[in-house]
Chains A and B, each alone.
Chain A
Amino acid sequence: MVDYFLFDLDGTITMEELLPRIARKIGVWDEIYELTKHTIAGDIPFEVSLRHRVEILSRAKVSEIRKIVAGVELNPDILRFIQKNKHKCYIVTGNLDVWISELVERIDIPVLCSMVSIKDDMITSLRTVLNKREAAQSFQGNFVAIGEGANDYGMFELASESIAYGGVHEPARQLLEIATYLTYRSDTLCNILSQL
């Protein structure tokens, strides 16, 4: 019996990775691309990478980035599953509270994320970087973890079942060393989620 479903956000619920999307829109793609690639693969620790990427992306106004993030396409199969199982679903993401707030309103489930301080619509400091293992520890009972990046590892370790989802990009190799399932299609993903 599953008590909770913990979803990664970027590249799982969203049809594209958010930080590269922001980078493209504000013209810092080259600086972000390599960092993101190595972060997803687990070559750079997530916290180090996030701090670095936030530093680069913080050159733009928070409201501008929030708008860019809000317009991202969401996976319709996953969204449908979430709507049907709202009371059990949570988003667990390293992304920033101020950037994803509008997007999360569209999904309409609770979110655990990284937090920043802002002043005059600009980020002044990264207050907390979400550690997914610690976030998962706060859930009592059986939970299923769904994600694709190296930073989902801690959440996968604690999950009763874990599903690596490769719908947007290839899941991190180390995640597959502990995952229960792997799928590349969101309909297959939602099929197994509804059976667990």
Chain B
Amino acid sequence: MRFSKLFRAEDSKAELDEEIATHLAMAAADKREQGSDPATAQQEAQREFGNTALVKDITRESWGWLWLERVLQDLRYALRQMRKSPGFAAAVIGTLALGIAAATAMFTVVDRVLLQPLPYPHPSQLVKIHEGDQGSRMLLDAPYLDIAAWRSQAKSFEQIGFYTYPNGRNFLGRPGQSVETSFLEVSANFFSTLGVKPQLGPGLSAAPESFAGSPNADTVVISDSAWRTLFAADRGVIGKSVQINGKSYTVVGVMPPGFIFPYDAFHTVQAWAPISLNANDRARDRNSMATYSVIARLRPGVKLTTAQAELSTLQTQVARGYTDPEMRADARHVRTTPYTEGLMEKSTSHALYALLAAALLLWLIACVNATNLLLARALARQREMAMRGALGASRWRLTQQLIVESCALSGIAALLGAAIALTMIRLFHHALKSHLPLPVPASVNLPVFACLAVLTLFSAILAAVWPAWIAAHAPIEPALKQGGQQSGTSRAHHRMRGSLVIAEIAMSLTLLAACGLMLRTIYALRNVPLGFRTDHIIVVNLDIPTYRFSKINATTDLYQPLLDRVSHMPGIDSAGLMTDVPLGRTFIMHIEINRKDTNGDNATVAAFFKAVSPDLQRVFGFQMLKGRYFNAQDTATSEPVVVVNRTFARAYAPRERDLGKVIGLQVMKLVNGKQSKQATIIGILDDFRQRSVDQPSHPEIEVCLPQLTPDSGFYTVLEGIAMDLAVRTHRPLAQVIPELRSALRQASPELANSNITTMDQIVEDSYGSQMLAAHLLEIFAASALLLCVAGLYGLLAYIVNQRTREMGIRFALGAQRNDVVWLVMRRAGVLVIAGVAIGLALAFASTRFIRSFLYGVSAHDAWTLAAVAAVLIVSGAVAAYLPARRAAQVNPVEALRAE
């Protein structure tokens, strides 16, 4: 190819023209010399030369770069056409943009959340190791002695590292700046197990853990974002000190940007410090043993099954080291799981894929619609194409021009679609963040861009090739004849367009069915009786700076004064404290209570464990089944008491029919020690929703806050980590919140920045992924319905337009208006019924993929399907109305005269 000539294209062409003109002139001159007159000479010379234009064309083509010029020419023509009929262009662009936007947005989310590789090298080799009884499905952390045994004897692993979360909320900072963050204590080989080195500094000491005190105990590695926030990206940060929970640590490393561990969005760990082994790690004592989460890297080439088998064999020996028979039973089984597996529940990933499928379905509908539009257009331009063919354009040339046109349209649609997708992601960012366990992007990255390009290309091809092929292969003569507009359309063409509309209707029905099911789910969720009141309750999620309050008695020094202050604020009906409000999900404490089975076997009941203040019942209105709730008489010096819910009572005393007998049973010790008494059950609450609205009740035990003292073993976990303050008030939010904040600040400065929300909002948030899926499906289904109706309307309008003459003849022959309307409606009816039938089958087959989202309605619910079918039929009737009316208003005289 002669690109150099491309830039002087005009010159080259002019040269060629001149060369040929010269040839002709000389030939004519020769002929004149031979005796012909000038006119004949000219003619003969021309005749001998041949088709000048064709010769020029062929020669130019041998230059090799002509195709580019032609494409540019086609592009310019396409843009001119778009300007001439902006409505059509807008329709096609809008349709395609909608489909591309939906598919791109969903794919962005799926790519980031499901497909993105972890930021560690060879992440498939990373496994988690848990101990635990196969049957109980509990995954337990392992004590140090077990880990040491594995390290020395298990051959399948290259490295075994471990880590743990210190209890409580952690605050990382420097003097003057303090931020709440997550903080991890890790083994010395932790980072080398993951395979990531710090970007600055040497990192944690590689000396293995030992029971002797290590001089490196107060070192820490911080994350890239902590480095930027606290040290302003100062490269001399190594050796500087930073405070964690008031204690000073030396910074020995900064992790690279983008490094996250653990890989989830709930904990943003900003600092990693070494684990110090102490007396608790020397023995396997049930009460004091420290356990760690284990992450290990397999040796290259070792399969997970091999490693699992080796560890299982090894573990039977290791378990003998346990003296407690119960613990030995638990420790006997060991489970390895790939690290990538546990990151998201299967149901969530299935749901995401289902939503992606829905988005792709919408894209398909959009493409089908665009194809229909382009087909109609190609038909209208038959005469133009025929003319060009007659002038010498080859079939390929015509096809190429139409393809370029549609590529231009879909290119613009892709740009528009990308913009819409970005906006959608931004709008849904908050919702996505709270319901997906992994960080969600706000931008378009390379794989997504590639996906966008592929979608655009396919849209263009799908929507263009077909009409282009038809237009290019249409016979020329009939189109050029008079009246060709009316008779040129073949039955095959109509059938094709009809089947496209049927396909659209079928796919739309599927989307509408999914949407309908989701809406019913939401409705069912909203109407589940929660078991407590949610109106007019303000909730404050207190961030307790644990380290500050370990020295004091938080009950008397912090919480009680706070409660008193808040209760006495004007307009407050009642106020209470609870470790975690129902559906709050800020902090859930589990406890296992032993009970004696009637057989004498030991069994346990796993229960939620919360501390509450007595007034809480006035705030939430919990229903008591039996007995009483806490009251002012329950103090630190009175009898220890607990309140349980019905599920707990059933689990704890399964043989007891009468719940009243459960009252008075002794359950557990609030305070360790020989003198202390067991706490008795004094009341049974009716079940209420705890974790989420669609899950049944879990056993729950509540203890009275005033009864907890620092001596109690549960003091720290129930009071020192999280506490929610619930306030019932009739005053408007805007007035109460500032007063609340000042009361909090008076109690302790850190509390002033706590998150304040309402109970209604918490309930709303807890609907979680169902709401998100419902919103998305609403958008998809509404778009699909719109496209469908537009497609049907377009087809019918076109048919009526084509057949105006026929209508006129019918009227002239005596047909009534109604007959003609019926004709149109019948055509529409056939299309809609066929589409609905196929759509129902499709919906039946595919709604089971969203089964995990549904609540209160089955995936094959007949009412929903019937309702959706009815919606489509009505929409079809609406779409057919205008064309039918237009058909009925055809004036026979005019129709016969036209064309």
State yes or no: do A and B come from one complex.
no
Residues on B lying within 8 angstroms of A by beta carbon are none
